[in-house]
């Protein structure tokens, strides 16, 4: 999401929360008015039974109570009601503060999960993500494959076209990667120009299909001459998770395979003296 939409998402729940709490306060006021009225009625009714001579004469209601006693009763009722309302208000205020703090923490955590430039998950979320996916894959005995992706010649993009164009290319590549995976998969910005794709319930054969899909989409993107005669390529390393392997080990293995692929491409192009892959 962009910054503007992210701000709307953060403010939206807070606005709804404030609206709900305002509605709740209005309802609480109505309830308290009815409660006080009911308490007075019940109190007078109780007194009419406890001290009938002060209320009933010949089956007719005649309230005979001194002003001092009536004033005292009313004061007791009002003090109890005010104390209860104040206590309820303080509890509601504490609840509001706790809800706002929780919402703020959730918003900050959600913002930290997404890389603002590429709109994919950030590396700070990777450890938690991988641990959960590995645990689920091993529990369900389903495959899990990681794909490390590195942009070739990216330093040359920055040197030749500037860092703004470099940022544009990173965002475009991230969009290509996201378009080639399912909603249940994850694209993570692992480093400056490196991305890690987490393919849930996918073996290496399925990952190869994603690999070919990425290459085709990247070829189409290069064919649109976004950078003139300069073409972007990727080195991809696939690794299917081995049960018992930690998240760090799985990532390291996919990283090793990516660099092996980069070395293979460098060696294959050495005879024709291509631009150096960096």
d(CA 158, CA 215): 22
Q: Are the C-beta atoms of 171 and 117 separated by less than 8 Å?
A: yes
Burial class (CB in 10 A: 0-12, 13-18, 19+), 182: exposed
Q: Are the C-beta atoms of 254 and 239 separated by less than 8 Å?
A: yes
Q: Are the C-beta atoms of 191 and 148 separated by less than 8 Å?
A: no
Q: 180 in the Ramachandran plot: left (φ > 0), alpha (ψ -120 to 50) or beta? A: alpha
Q: What DSSP character marks residue 42?
A: H
Whether residue 193 lies in the annotated active site: yes
d(CA 253, CA 77): 74
d(CA 139, CA 148): 24
d(CA 242, CA 240): 6
**Residue of 159, 193, 203, 220 marked catalytic:** 193
Q: Which residues pair with 149 in a beta bridge?
A: 195, 236
d(CA 243, CA 137): 9
d(CA 200, CA 184): 7
For residue 235, the surrounding DSSP H or E stretch is: strand 233-240
Closest CA to 234 of 125, 145, 147, 130: 147
- Return the active site residues: 193
């Amino acid at each position: 999401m962009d910054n503007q939409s992210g701000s709307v998402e953060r403010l939206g729940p807070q606005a709804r929360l404030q609206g709900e709490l305002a509605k709740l306060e209005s309802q609480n006021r109505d309830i308290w008015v009815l409660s006080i009225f009911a308490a007075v009625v019940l109190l007078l009714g109780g007194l009419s039974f406890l001290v009938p001579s002060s209320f009933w004469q010949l089956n007719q209601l005649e309230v005979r109570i001194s002003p001092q006693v009536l004033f005292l009763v009313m004061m007791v009722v009002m003090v109890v009601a005010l104390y209860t309302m104040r206590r309820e208000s303080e509890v509601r205020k504490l609840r509001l503060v706790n809800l706002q703090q929780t919402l703020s923490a959730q918003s900050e955590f959600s913002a930290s999960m997404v890389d603002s430039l590429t709109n994919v998950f950030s590396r700070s979320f990777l450890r938690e993500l991988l641990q959960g996916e590995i645990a689920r894959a091993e529990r369900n005995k389903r495959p899990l494959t990681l794909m490390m992706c590195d942009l070739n010649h990216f330093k040359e993009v920055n040197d030749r076209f500037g860092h703004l164009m470099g940022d544009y290319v990173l965002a475009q590549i991230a969009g290509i990667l996201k378009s080639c995976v399912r909603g249940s998969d994850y694209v993570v910005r692992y480093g400056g120009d490196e991305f890690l794709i987490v393919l849930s319930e996918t073996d290496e054969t399925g990952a190869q299909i994603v690999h070919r899909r990425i290459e085709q989409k990247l070829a189409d993107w290069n064919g649109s001459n976004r950078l003139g005669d300069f073409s972007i390529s990727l080195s991809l390393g696939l690794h299917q998770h081995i049960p018992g392997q930690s998240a760090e080990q799985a990532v390291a293995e996919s990283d090793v395979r990516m660099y092996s692929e980069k070395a293979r491409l460098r060696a294959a192009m050495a005879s024709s003296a291509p631009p150096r892959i960096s």
